[in-house]
Structure 1
Amino acid sequence: MEFATFILAAQRGYHQSSESVIRNSIEQAVASEQAGFNTAWFAEHHFNNYSLIPSPLMMVAHCAGLTSTIRLGTAVCVLPLYQPQRLLSEIGFADIVANGRLELGVGLGYQQFEFERFGVDIDEAPAVFSEYLDIILKGLNQNVFEHDGQYEKIPPTAISVRTVQQPTPPIWIAGGAARMARAYREGHNFFVTAFHDGLETLTTLRESVERAAASEEKNVTDVKISLLRCCYASHDELE
């Protein structure tokens, strides 16, 4: 079992400046390495104070220069909000400056408020995510790739900024049962979330994972699974 921190960079009140929130989040990543955590994960959100990280890859690139051993991950890059060809180069750049410590988490997003302001139809997010992940995998695995899909048509294209980790950084997928099944089918890792509830929720999650693995004739342990839970750090056990 490995332990990681999930850095949301939430602005708890408007008395906090965006600068102070972001600098505190960077300090959390450095402290995570000092405390022995395996990975620091960075969220992506837009246009509200729930999270002030618009680009988790930028956080990875910055924190790479302040750390040396901890792995740095995106949790997640919301693929339908990106231009996939550009994202491929940014993935390569982040992995280079992190000396091969990038963990690439991708997801389809869920906040309609964000999608509306980017002019993206959230109802199409699952299909867009699936196609964009196809493009990302092509670009990471092939020196020259092309794509003819519903949402993107890309002529033969070379991504010049290549990842240090070959053929790809570890890829993590967020989402429901269909995306769990794809993770097992293609050998990717995936995220599941159970913020507050007890063992009943974990039991339900376990059953979903088992069904996804069985649907692809895989073992549950064939990929890594990241479980996101809330905890409270204090010097006082009573708290």
Structure 2
Amino acid sequence: MKFHIAINLERIDDSRDMAEVARHTLEMVQMAEEGGFEIAWAAEHHALEMTIAPNPFQILTWWGENTSRIRLGTAVATAAYWHPINLAGEAAFLDLISGGRLEFGIGSGAYQREFDRMKPGLKQSDGWRYMQEMLPVVRTLWQGDYAHDGDYWQFPTATSVPKPVQPEVPVWVAARSPITYDYAIREKCHVNCWPLTRSFEEAELYKRHLDEAIAKADNGWIPRFALMRHAAIYDNEADRAAALDAIRTVLSQFENLFRNAGDVVNGFPKSIPLDELKGREQYDPAMLEENLMFGTPDQAVKKLQRYRDLGVDEFIYYASMGLGLEEQKRSLRLFCDEVIPEFK
């Protein structure tokens, strides 16, 4: 099993200095590289302090300049917010200056709030249409001159400048629905999935979608299959309590964004009290500890073995969850020292 880290510049409130938050992400990526992680992922989000990522290529360029081996992935570039020539060139430039370390992740976008600002009039539920037109265009631009006349973009003959260093850039699609799995396999992409806070059965569902898409495409493509979970590894009660409190705070803000409630002030989403939510059992502490990659190193090993047996090739350690910076480092250190060696 291979391991990736996903980490965001993240502020839950304005009490933490932005420069400190930025330095922390780099330190975590450097720790991950030394600890045996293969890929570091950066998101794209806009006007939200809980995920400060207006351009993932800028973040990855910075991380790349301060690391030497870990690969650098977009998770994900939101297709509807880009022009194909711009996206192809930004991605290729990162591949060039990092020495061929780009992992290109593309997706449909997360929150209607962002679409209302970045692509007014577009429903988040239709973002996949832009993604499915965008990807083949970007791949063709990486190869040479191309003119495009599509539903969402039109341009005369152009090419990506620069070109990627890698002869074939690994492409990843974030998938949950069957239609996206079908697209990923048809286009010969790797797949990452995120079961949110749902149980192991959600991961089993995604694996069925994957297997069905592979059978349907019948094109010989067997993708890498990565699964992401919020992760907190602890060996004492104080860190356990801090992790559970932090994830519940983040989830209460996530619910605000997911519902497009509109209560975002100066970039900070207000929390929706969890006891007011329909389906609030999804945020029960015992359930969260069971479903997420929370626990002692031994508990994490057992959970990962279960995912490996399911057919998950690669695990994405999602570090951003409102946890204190030192607690995040302690968790990652335990994972590197006591969990990863069990899978070597």
TM-score (norm: length of structure 2): 0.65
Q: Does 1:212 align with 2:226?
A: no
Report if the CA contact (8 A) 2:106-2:173 is conserved.
yes
Distance in 2 (CA, whole Å) between partners of 1:86 and 1:206 is 33
Which of 141, 148, 157 is the aligned partner of 1:139? Answer: 141
- Call closer, same or farther: CA 1:195–1:118 in 2, change over 3 Å: closer
Residue 284 (structure 2) aligns with: none
User: What is the CA distance between 1:10 and its match in structure 2?
Assistant: 2.0
Give the letter for the 1:183 counterpart: A
Instruction: Give the conservation status (yes or no) of the 8 Å contact 1:60–1:98.
Output: no
| Aligned twin of 1:17 | 17
Question: For residues 218 and 129 of structure 2, what CA distance do their matches in structure 1 show?
Answer: 24
CA distance in 2, matches of 1:12, 1:234: 22
Structure 2 contact 107–128 (Cα < 8 Å) conserved: no
1:82-97 aligned within 5 A: 82-97=82-97
5 Å-filtered alignment, 1:53-68, equals: 53-68=53-68
1:1-239 correspondence to structure 2 within 5 Å: 1-120=1-120, 121-122=122-123, 123-140=125-142, 142-166=143-167, 168-175=168-175, 176-217=177-218, 222-236=222-236, 239=240
Using the TM superposition, give the Cα deviation of residue 218 of structure 1 relative to its aligned residue in structure 2, in angstroms.
Answer: 5.4
Deviation at 1:234, TM superposition (A): 2.6
Q: Within 1, Cα distance between the matches of 2:42 and 2:161?
A: 25
Contact 1:22 1:52 in 2 (8 A): no
Q: Does the CA-based 8 Å contact 2:80-2:119 persist in structure 1?
A: no
- The alignment's C-alpha RMSD in Å is 1.8
Give the deviation of 1:20 after TM superposition: 2.1
Whole-Å separation in 1 of the counterparts to 2:45 and 2:158: 29
- Amino acid of the residue matched to residue 134 of structure 1? P
The one-letter code of the counterpart of 1:56 is P
Question: Helix, strand or coil for the counterpart of 1:37?
Answer: coil
Equivalent-residue separation in structure 2 for 1:127 and 1:173 (angstroms):
13
- In 1, the alpha carbon distance for the partners of 2:216 and 2:111 equals 29
Taking the aligned partners of 1:147 and 1:135, their CA distance within structure 2 comes to 8
Aligned-partner Cα distance in 2 for 1:152–1:199: 39
Please list every run of at least 4 consecutive aligned residues from structure 1 whose deviation after the TM superposition is greater than 6 angstroms.
Answer: none
2: CA distance between counterparts of 1:25 and 1:34?
A: 14
* In 1: Cα distance, 2:149 partner to 2:4 partner: 38
**By how many angstroms is 1:151 displaced?**
1.3
Query: Unmatched 5+ residue regions in structure 1?
Result: none
Does the residue aligned with 1:22 lie in a helix, a strand or coil? Answer: helix
Aligned residues: 236
CA distance in 2, matches of 1:124, 1:193: 19
Partner of 2:19, secondary structure, is helix
CA apart distance, 1:160:
2.4
In the alignment, the residues of structure 1 paired with residue 207 and residue 88 of structure 2 have an alpha-carbon distance, to the nearest angstrom, of 33
CA displacement, residues 142-193 of structure 1 (integer Å, 9 cap, x when unaligned): 2111111111111111222010001x31000113221211221121101111
**What CA distance in whole angstroms lies between the structure 1 residues aligned with 2:169 and 2:60?**
13
> 1:206 and 1:218 mapped to 2: Cα distance?
18
Q: Secondary structure at the match of 1:147?
A: strand
User: How many angstroms apart in 2 are the aligned matches of 1:65 and 1:119?
Assistant: 32
Deviates more, 1:71-80 or 1:206-215: 206-215
Q: Supply the AA of the counterpart residue of 1:133.
A: L
Partner in structure 1 of residue 246 of structure 2: none
Looking at both structures, which has the greater relative contact order when contacts are Cα pairs under 8 Å and sequence separation is at least 6?
Answer: 2
- What fraction of aligned residue pairs are identical, expressed as a percent? 27
